Amino acid sequence: MKRGWIVLLAALFIALGAIVWEFWRAVPFLVMIAMEPAGWGCDEGPVTDQSATNRRGDVVEEYIRACTGFGTVVDYSIVLQLRSDEKRTTLAEHDRLSYEYPKFFWINDDTLSIDPGKVHSVWSMIHKVGSIRITYTYAKVDTGWWSDRPNALENGAGWDDADQGKWQ
């Protein structure tokens, strides 16, 4: 029985050597991918047209992060940078569907209203940063492929008043 295990381990070792010998050119590429935390890297920054500043100098803006590797992942978020702080605070993350959105409205220096537009989902919403109170108003859109209503998007019924959400 011992002899059978030794033969099996020797065969596996030879097979591993043959695989490494055949694919040795791919090893540096795989090491490069493994060393990069997000695959090929990420680009991030504010979306230039989508921002608003209050009288105190606090800035709210849409922020995008696109990472590539095996495919591309794009994350959209809304961030707030207080005038007295160098760090950005992520207020909410969303999927981007509507052009010319999100819209930001400073009601006063301590009240901010955010309208992401028509979206599938909004998550990680923060409702207060320091003295600033934040409200969200958006319309939730059916995805179509997992909706209770078959062919909802194709029939022009992508959203209606029942799907609208207003949370504070």
Question: Distances in Å between the alpha carbon of 25 and those of 13, 19, 29, 42, 133?
Answer: 20, 11, 8, 26, 56
**Residue type at position 11:** A
Q: Return the domain boundaries, the chain.
A: 1-35, 36-167
Position 122 pLDDT exceeds 60: yes
| Residue 71 tokens, joined | 């495919």
3-state secondary structure at position 5: helix
For 153, other C-beta atoms within 10 Å of its C-beta total 15
The pLDDT value recorded for residue 4 is: 86
What is the arithmetic mean of pLDDT over 136-159?
A: 56
What mean pLDDT do residues 29-34 have?
Answer: 69
- CA 151, 157, 160, 162 dihedral sign is negative
Average of per-residue pLDDT across 24-31: 74
Averaged pLDDT score across all residues of the chain? 78
Write out pLDDT tens, residues 59-104: 999 998 887 766 677 888 999 999 988 899 999 998 876 677 889 9
CB 116 within 8 A of CB 136: yes
**What's the pLDDT score for residue 61?**
94
